[in-house]
Amino acid sequence: MRFNIRLFILCIIILNCLSLIALNSSLHQEGEFSGKEQFYKQIVWIFVFWIVILVFYFINYRVYFNLSFYIYILSIIFLLGVKLWGKEIMGAQRWIPLGEFNFQPSEFSKLAVIILSARILSLDVKRAIFFRKLILPLILISISFILIFKQPDLGTAMLIFLIFFMMSLSSDIKKRYIIYMLILGLVLLPLIWVKLADYQKKRVIVFLDPNVDPLGAGYTIIQSKIAIGSGKIFGKGFLAGTQNQFNFLPERHTDFIFTVIAEEFGLIGSLFLLWIYGNILKNILNKTREVKDNFGQFLCIGIFSLLFLQIFINIGMTMGLFPVVGIPLPFLSYGGTHLLITAISLGIFLNIVKQW
Amino acid sequence: MDIKLIRNLSLGGLIILVISLFYYQVIKGDMYLNRAQANYIRVVSKEAIRGTILDRNYETLAYDRGAFNIAVIPYQIKDNKEELFSKISRLAKVKKETLTINYNRNFRSPFYPVDILIDIDKEKALALKEELGEEVIIEEIPQRHYPFGKELAHILGYVKRGVNVSNNSDVYGYIPYQRVGLAGIEKYYNNYLAGRDGGELLEVDALGKIAGFLGANHPKKGKDIVLTIDLRLQRIAYQLLSEYKRGVIIVMDPRDGQIHVFCSQPSYEPNQIMRGVDFDSILKAEDNILLNRGIQARYPLGSVFKPILSIAGLEEKKITSNTTFICEGRYRLGNLSFECRSAHGKQNLIEALAHSCNVYFYNVGAILDIDKIAKWAKKFGLNTLTGIDLPYEKSGIVPDQHWKITNIKSPWFKGDTLNVSIGQGYLEATPLEVLVAISAFANGGYLVKPHLVKEIEGENISLSPSKFLDLSLSHINEVKKGLEAVVSWSNGTAHLLDTLKLSIAGKTGTAQTIGKSHGWFVGFFPSSSPKYSICVFLENVGSSSEAVKVAYDFLKEAKNKGIISQEEIKR
C-alpha cells in the first residue's frame, strides 16, 4: 500500500471538523452556548495548526539530526523553567504563561524525546548496542521523566517512556533486552507509587474500582462510562447528550472530548472517528516503509507512536481501561500546546514525505 | 525496521477500543441509558393526602397536616458533608448519626435528593433553610395527627413511614417513606385511606437546577371514613376507665353490630409514634399498652356465661323455666365440694340468674355434660372471631374432652364440667365475643358481626348478615326475664343500675383468676327493644360490683349529657 497524501490531508481536515463539532456541543449547557469564546479560540488554533504544518513542511528534517541534543537540552530547560516560573492550575505546575497563551513544556518534551531517540536509534553502532541504544537514552529520558513526574503529570511522564519503547521495538535492539527493561520498569513501579501524590494514588485506586469514591476521584470515570454507554448504537444526537448538556461530565472539552462524541453520535460515530484515526496511522506506517533514511524512519515511528499512544490511552481512559491521566486526544481536545505539537510533528512528517 | 510489529501492536490496540465500545454501547447500552436518565430525570414525589377518619357525628378523629422533610443533593455537598451534618445536627437538635444513617439508607444517585431529616415541624424546617440556604431542600409532606390521642388509639391505630413498604406498581415514581397503617382502622382500611401517590418528572442538571418539565401525575386523596363510634360516649368511657389499671368498655348496637364505644385501658399516644420518637418505650411500657384488650386478650367469663348455659339447658330440653334446684351453699361431687356465694335455697331459672347462684348452674351443667355445653358455647361464637373490622383479633377457647387431651394432655373430669358451667376452668373469651354472645338475647337470637365503619367516602358500607341461631323465642324471653331480674330485683347483683330508669337487663360476673378476680358486667337496654348493649370488663378489681359501678357511672353521665335519653330509647 502506498502513502496517499490526499487521503491523509482529508482525514486531518475531517478531524478538525469533528473537533469543532464536539467542542461546540461540549461548550453548550442546557441549550445555551456558554463557551463561545473557547470555541472561537479553537477555530483560530486550527488556522495556526495549518500554518505550523506548512512552516515545518519546508524545514528539512535532517536539521533535527544535528540539533537533537540541543533540542533535548532546551526541553529540559523549559521543564526547569516551569518549576521556577510556572503557573499553577488545579494543583499542578505545568504551564508557562506567555500572554494569552499558556505554554506547556511537557508537550514539547514529547517531541524532543522523539527527535533524540530517533537520532540515537538510527546511529550505526557495532559494539555495545545494548548500552548505547537502550541504557543511555533511558538515562537521558529519565531526566525529563522525573521533571514531568514532579509537576505532577504522571500521564505525560509515562507517555515519553512508552514512546521510546515503541520506537526501540522497531529498531535492531534485541527484543529480549527491551522486554527485560520493561520488566525492570514493572519492578520499579512500587517506587513510583510511593512518590505519587494522594490524588494520583486515588486515581489509580478508583481505576481498579470507581465505586470506592463515586463522588470524588471515581466520579469522572463513572459519569464518562454512563455517557458512552447511554449513547448506544446511534447516539443521542448533536446537542442532545444529557450527560454532556446537563453538566454531569467534567473536563468534557479537554481530556473527555471523546465521551461527548460517543454519547451524541453513538457507536457509529465512535467507530467513524477510530476509522479516520486508523487511516492516518496506517498512512504514516506506509510512508515509513518508503523512507530510505534511518533517522527519517525513526522520526516517522516516533510520530506514529505519539499519535497512537495518545489516542489509545485517552479513549481507553474514558472507558475505564486506564486510570484517569491527563493525556489529550490528538486533534480533538481543546487546548493549544498539544495541537501545536501535533502540527509540528505532522509538519516534520510531511517534510519527510516530500523528501522521499 | 520492524514496522510489522508496530503495525500489529497498534492494530491490537484499536481492536481493544472497538471491543470495549461495543461492550459499553451495545451490550450494556440500556443499563447505562437508565443510569443516564437517573442522573437528569428527577421524580419529585407528591404524597397523597390520607383520608380523614370521622366519628358518627362527623367529628374529626384523624387527619393529615403539613410536616417537613429536609433533603440534600449528594453531589452538591460532597466536599462539606460532615461539616454540614454537624451544623444540621446542632441546629435541629438531632444526633449526627441519625443524619448519616438516613443519608446512607436513602442514597440513590449523586444527583437525587436524599432525605436526611423526616417529619420535622415547620419552624424547624424554615430555620434550617434560612441558615443553610441552597445546601438543603425543604419538602412538604403530610403528617398524620390524632386530636384525641390516647382516647381512640386502639380503634384508630397509627401509620408509620416505612422504606419500600409497597410494591404497588401504580405508584408513580418512588416514595421512599410511604405511609402505611400499622394498627387499627388505619391498617384495616389502609387501601381506602391511602389514596394514590403522585409525582412530577423534572429534568435537572448536575447542580440540581431544574432544566425542564417532563410530566406529572397528580396524587389522589384517600377516602374519608366515617366510624360508628360516638366520640362523646367514647370520651366518657375513657375518662372512667383511666381510674383503673386495665379494663375494657364496649358499647354496641345489638341490632346491627355498630360499635359506639370501644375503649381499652391502658392506652398509648399515637401522635408520639407519628413523631417517630421512642417506639421502644411504647413497646416496653407496663401492661402492654399496644394491646387492645377488647379483642386481643382472653379472659375467664365467670357468671356472664350463665345466660348461655341457661339457653343451652332450655333448648336441649334438660330444664324448663320452672325447674328448680336447691342451693345449700355447695355442690358435692364425690369428696369434692363446689362452692356457691351463699345458701340460696330453692331456685328456679330466673332466681338463679338474678342471684347468680352457682349451685343451680352446676346442676344444669352436670345434666347437659361438657359436649352439649361446648356445642352451645361455640354456637354463641366464643371460639370464633367476631369478624370486627380491626386487625389482629383473637378468639376465645371453648374446652371439651378432645381439647383437653390435645392441649393439656389430661383426660376430662366431671369437675371440669362444673367449672365450665359457671364460666371458669378452661373457658375463656374476649370481651367483644362475650358482648356479641349476650347481645343475642337482645336481638332475638342473632349473632351480629360487630363493625366500626359506617361510611366510606359518603357511601354506606354494606353489612354482612348476622348469624341466626334459631332459638325458640320463648326460651330467649325466659333467660331475658332472668337478666332483667339481675337489675330490677332489689337483691339482683346489678340492682344499682335500676335507678337509671333505662330498663337495663344484664349479667354480672366475678371471674376467678390468678390474683384478684376480674369484674364483668354485660347487658343491654331498653330490655323490651334493646338499642344498646354494653360490656364493662375490669381486670383484677376483685368483684363484679366495680364493673357495675363503672357501667352505672357511664350510663348516668351519658344520660346527663343527653346522649342517651329515655325518649330516644323509647322511640
Q: Which residues of A touch B22 (CB under 8 A)?
A: 267
Q: Which residue has the cell 481543546?
A: A334
Looking at the fold, whether B481 and B506 belong to one and the same domain comes out as: yes
Which residue among A247, A267, A274 places its CB closest to the CB of B25?
A267
Q: Could you tell me if B247 and B182 lie in one domain?
A: no
Find the helix or strand (DSSP H, E) in which B260 lies.
Answer: strand B259-265
Distance from the B9 Cα atom to the nearest Cα atom in chain A, whole angstroms: 9
> Does the residue B100 lie in any domain?
no
Residue B557 sits in the same domain as residue B472: yes
Using the 8-state DSSP alphabet, how is residue B23 labeled? I
| B35–A270 CB contact, under 8 Å | no
**Residue B248 near residue B264 (C-beta atoms within 8 A):** yes
- Residue for grid cell 355434660: B369
- For B446, what's the count of Cα atoms within 13 Å in the CB-facing half-sphere? 16
Cβ(B30)–Cβ(B83) below 8 Å: no
| Residue B238 sits in the same domain as residue B259 | yes
Tell me which chain B residues have a C-beta less than 8 angstroms from the C-beta of A302.
none
| Residue B293, all three cell numbers | 384488650
- CATH code (residue B529): 3.40.710.10
Question: How far is the C-alpha of B39 from the C-alpha of B208, rounded, in Å?
Answer: 10
| Whether residue B490 sits in one domain with residue B470 | yes
Closest residue in chain A to residue B205, using alpha carbons only: A246
Peptide bond into B266 cis (omega under 30): yes
Are B215 and B236 within one domain?
A: no
Indicate whether B237 and B377 sit together in one domain: yes
Q: Based on the domain organization, do B485 and B517 belong to the same domain?
A: yes
Give the integer Cα–Cα distance in Å for A210 and A319: 11
**Rounded Cα distance, A94 and A326, in Å:** 11
How does DSSP classify residue A334?
S
Indicate yes or no: CB of A247 within 8 angstroms of CB of B14: no
Among candidates A216, A233, A243 on the partner chain, residue whose Cβ is nearest the Cβ of B25 = A233
B30, B36, B204 member nearest A226 (Cβ): B36
C-alpha cell at B442: 337482645
CB contacts, 8 Å: B4 with chain A: none
Q: Has residue B370 been placed in a domain? A: yes
Q: Which of B177, B206, B226 is the last residue of a domain?
A: B226
Domain boundary residue, one of B191, B226, B261: B226
Give the structural domain span for B425.
Answer: 231-570
Q: Are B511 and B297 in contact (CB under 8 A)?
A: no
> Using the 8-state DSSP alphabet, how is residue B151 labeled?
G
Q: Contact A268/A236 with Cβ under 8 angstroms?
A: no
DSSP designation for A211: G
* Distance, C-alpha B129 to centroid of its chain: 39
- Rg of chain A's alpha carbons, rounded to an integer? 20
B18 is a domain residue:
no
Instruction: List beta partners, residue B159.
Output: B181
Cβ pair B227, B234 in contact under 8 A: no
Contact A228 B22 (CB under 8 A): no
Q: What is the pLDDT of residue B31?
A: 92
Look at residue A329 in the predicted model and tell me its pLDDT.
95
B265, B247 Cβ separation under 8 angstroms: yes
Q: Which residues, 6+ apart, have CB-to-CB distance to A17 below 8 Å?
A: none
B247 shares a domain with B221 = no
Q: What is the DSSP string of B499-534?
A: GG-S--EEEEEEE--SSSPEEEEEEEESTTS--EEE
Cα angle at B528 between B523 and B531, to 5 degrees?
60
A30-41 average pLDDT score: 84
Cell numbers standing for residue B96: 449526627
Q: Which of A314, A312, A316, A323 is nearest to A207 (CA)?
A: A323
Give contacts of B 169-228 with A, CB under 8 A.
203-207, 211
Name the amino acid, one letter, at B334: G
Distances (CA, A) of B406 to A130, B403, B409: 96, 5, 6
- CA angle, B288 as apex, B284 and B292 as ends, to 5°? 145
CA pair distance B451, B252, nearest whole angstrom: 9
Name the pairing type of β-strands B225-227 and B53-54: parallel
DSSP one-letter code for B196: B
Task: Indicate yes or no: CB of B206 within 8 angstroms of CB of A248.
Answer: yes
Minimal CA–CA distance to B382: which of B522, B235, B178?
Answer: B522
Residues of chain B in contact with residue A289, where contact means CB-CB under 8 angstroms, are: 1, 3
- From chain B, the residues in CB contact with A30 under 8 A are 205, 211
Task: Write down the pLDDT at residue B398.
Answer: 96
Longest dimension (CA), chain B: 132
B286 plus B387 within the same structural domain: yes
Residues in chain B, total: 571
Evaluate whether B551 touches B534 at the Cβ level (below 8 Å).
Answer: yes
Give me the pLDDT at residue B275, please.
65
**Number of domains observed in the structure of chain A:** 1
Query: pLDDT digit string (tens) for A9-29?
Result: 999 999 999 999 999 999 987
Distance CA B544, CA B492 (A): 12
Looking at per-residue pLDDT, the higher value among A59 and A99 belongs to A59
Q: Do B259 and B230 contact (CB within 8 A), yes or no?
A: no
From B177, B205, B226, the end of a domain falls on: B226
The shortest CB-CB distance from B6 to any of A274, A301, A316 is to A301
Calculated CA dihedral for residues A270, A276, A279, A281, nearest 10 degrees: -80
Say whether A246 and B205 touch across the interface (CB within 8 A).
yes
What CATH number corresponds to the domain at position B176?
Answer: 3.90.1310.10
Task: Name which of B417, B416, B333 is nearest B369 in CA terms.
Answer: B417
Residue A86 has pLDDT above 80, yes or no: no
Q: In this structure, is residue B107 part of a structural domain?
A: no
Exposed, middle or buried, A80 (CB in 10 Å: 0-12/13-18/19+)?
A: middle
Measured between CA atoms, the residue of chain B closest to residue A216 is B78
B205–A285 CB contact, under 8 Å: no
| Cell numbers given for B188 | 384495616
- What's the N-to-C CA distance of chain A in angstroms? 15
Torsion region of B195: left, alpha or beta (phi above 0 gives left; psi -120 to 50 gives alpha): left
pLDDT of A188 = 83
For A82, A101, A160, A335, B490, the CA distances from A77, given in Å and listed in that order, are 9, 19, 17, 22, 122
Contact A171 B10 (CB under 8 A): no
A107 contacts A78 by C-beta, under 8 angstroms: no
How far is Cα A50 from Cα A43, in angstroms, rounded to an integer?
11
- Which range of residues forms the domain containing residue A322? 5-355
Q: What is the DSSP code (8-state) at residue A156?
A: H
How many contacts (CB atoms, under 8 Å) link A and B? 131
Residue B176 has what pLDDT?
54
CB contact under 8 A, A242 and B40: yes
B 4-43 residues with CB < 8 A to A: 5-7, 9-10, 13-14, 16-18, 20-22, 24-26, 28-33, 35-37, 39-40
- What is the sign of the dihedral through the CA atoms of A339, A345, A348 and A354? negative
For residues B376 and B509, membership in a common domain is answered with yes
CB pair distance less than 8 Å for B10 and A312: yes
Partners of A216 on chain B (C-beta within 8 Å) are 78
B33 neighbourhood in chain A, CB within 8 Å = 229-230, 232
A321 with B31: Cβ contact below 8 A: no
Using a CB-CB cut-off of 8 Å, the residues of chain B touching A246 are: 39-40, 203-206, 211
Q: What is the dihedral of CA A325, A331, A333, A339, to 10 degrees?
A: 90
Nearest to A233 among B9, B26, B28 (CB): B26
Chain A residues with CB under 8 Å of B8 CB are none
Residue B258's DSSP bridge partners are B451
Read off the amino acid at residue B461: I
User: A165, A173, A176, A215: which to substitute to probe chain B, counting the most B Cβ within 10 Å?
Assistant: A215
Domain-located, residue B12? no
Please tell me the distance in Å from A170's CA to the nearest CA on chain B: 4
Q: How many helices (H) and strands (E) does chain A have?
A: 14, 5
Rounded-to-integer distance, Cα A316 and Cα A256, Å: 11
Q: Are B446 and B440 in contact (CB under 8 A)?
A: yes
For residues B319 and B406, state if they share a domain.
yes
Q: What is the pLDDT of residue B101?
A: 83
Residue A214: list chain B partners with CB under 8 A.
Answer: 110
Domain count for chain B: 2
Q: How many angstroms separate the CA atoms of A63 and A354, rounded?
A: 15
- Cell of residue A285, nine digits: 506506517
Per-residue pLDDT of chain B (571 residues; tens, 9 = 90+): 788 999 999 999 999 999 999 999 999 999 999 888 888 887 777 888 999 999 999 999 999 988 888 888 888 888 888 888 998 888 888 888 888 888 887 777 777 788 888 778 888 888 888 888 888 888 888 889 999 999 999 999 998 876 544 444 344 444 556 788 889 999 999 999 988 888 788 888 777 777 778 788 888 899 999 999 999 999 999 999 999 999 999 999 999 999 999 999 999 999 887 765 567 777 888 889 999 999 999 999 999 999 999 999 999 999 999 999 999 999 999 889 999 988 999 999 999 999 999 999 999 999 999 999 999 999 999 999 999 999 999 999 999 999 999 999 999 999 999 999 999 999 999 999 999 999 999 999 999 999 999 999 888 887 778 899 999 999 999 999 999 999 999 999 999 999 999 999 999 999 999 999 999 999 999 999 999 999 999 999 999 999 999 999 999 999 999 888 766 666 5
Q: What is the ipTM of this complex?
A: 0.94
Nearest to B31 among A169, A214, A229 (CB): A229
Q: Give A249's contacts (C-beta < 8 A, 6+ positions apart).
A: A220, A223, A224, A227, A243, A256, A259, A260
> What's the pLDDT tens digit per position in A232-285?
999 999 988 888 888 888 888 888 999 999 999 999 999 999 999 999 999 999
The answer to whether residue B1 neighbours chain A at the CB level (below 8 Å) is yes
Closest CA to B509 of B309, B227, B251: B309
Q: What is the DSSP string of A49-61?
A: HHHHHHHHHTS-T
CB proximity B426 to A under 8 Å: no
- Please name the residues in contact with A203: beta carbons below 8 A apart, sequence gap of 6 or more: A217, A323, A324, A325
